[in-house]
Amino acid sequence: MVSLTHRVLLKGMQYRKEQRFCKKKGLKNFFVEIAGDIQVSGKNKEGEKWSVGIQNPFNIKEIIKVVYLSDKGIATSGNYLRGEHIHNPIFKKNANEVALVTVIADDIFDADRFATAAFAMGEKGIHFLESLKNIEGYMVTKSKKAIYTSDFEKYTIN
């Protein structure tokens, strides 16, 4: 079992606050980034889906995958920026079996919590994500292999 941290809850609450503000102002198209996690609504100024790059955990100056989103949240969990900070409560140790997990969900709250949970599970995490409805995931293993859920690729086409 993976417990939610206050950080996850606060990001989700902050996003919902920002979303209410945007909708109250009559905005239908917006991009909100909170601590590296992103929520998009509608389309960008060109009238297209928002494009979001996923960093290479082995070279953060490089984008390894681009996804195109509308009305979705996206979050990535990994140790490559902040060091080991995700704990696996089952094995009572820091999670470090995979390099990165990115999750696309209907909102940033679900994307963030499921990315963290899947990362803590190691390579089994992609199977956990596959079992969830309306959740797609992309994982990079320590051996630099990309694994993704069955419908993830639909977000890689604009």
CA distance 46 to 93: 46
**Position 93 confidence tier, pLDDT thresholds 50, 70, 90:** low
Query: Within 13 A of 46's CA, how many CA atoms are on the CB side?
Result: 5
pTM of the model: 0.83
How does pLDDT run across 103-152, given as a tens digit for each residue? 999 988 899 889 988 988 888 999 999 999 999 999 999 899 999 999 99
For 73, list phi and psi in degrees, rounded to 5.
Answer: -115, 150
What are the C-alpha distances in Å from 61 to residues 53, 56, 114, 141?
A: 11, 7, 25, 18
